Amino acid sequence: MNSENPSQNVAVIGQGYVGLPLALTLAQRGFKVIGIDVSTDVVNNLNRGVSHVEDVSEGSLNEALNSGRYYSSTDFSRIAGVSTCVICVPTPLGPDREPDISYIESALRFMAPHLNSDVLIINESTSFPGTLNELVIPTLRKLLGDFVDQLLFASAPERIDPGNKIWNFSSTPRVVSGITPEATARALDFYRTICSDVSAVSKPEVAELSKLLENTFRQVNIALINQMVPVAHALGIDMREVIEAAGTKPYGFMKFYPGAGVGGHCIPIDPLYLLWKAGRLGIDLPFIRSADSVNRSMPEYVSKRAIELSNLGKDDTILLLGVAYKSGVADTRETPAKELATSLSKFGVKVFWFDPLVKHFPFAEKWHGKLDVDCSIIVTAQEGLPVSELAQARIPVLDCTGYYRDIEGVTHL
Three-state secondary structure call for residue 149: helix
Contact assessment for residue 328 and residue 353, using Cβ atoms and an 8 Å cutoff: no
Which residues touch 159 (CB under 8 Å, ≥6 apart)? 167, 172, 173, 174, 211, 214
**Closest C-alpha to 14, from 131, 169, 122, 146:** 122
Task: Establish how many alpha carbons lie within 13 A of residue 123's alpha carbon, considering only the half-sphere containing its beta carbon.
Answer: 32
> What single-letter amino acid sits at 319?
L
Q: Burial level of 141, CB count in 10 A (0-12/13-18/19+)?
A: middle
For residue 374, report the phi and psi dihedrals to the nearest 5 degrees: -95, -15
DSSP string, 103-142: HHHHHHHHHGGGPPTT-EEEE-S---TTHIIIIIHHHHHH
User: Alpha-carbon distance 173 to 162, whole Å?
Assistant: 16
DSSP H or E stretch at residue 270: helix 270-280
User: Alpha-carbon distance 171 to 186, whole Å?
Assistant: 20
The strand pair at 9-13 and 84-87 is best described as: parallel
Q: Give the residue ranges of DSSP H helices in 15-167.
A: 19-28, 40-47, 58-67, 102-111, 131, 137-144
Catalytic residue among 88, 266, 375, 400: 266
Contact assessment for residue 379 and residue 321, using Cβ atoms and an 8 Å cutoff: yes
Contact assessment for residue 176 and residue 191, using Cβ atoms and an 8 Å cutoff: yes
Note if 400 is an active site residue. no
**Residues with a known catalytic role:** 266
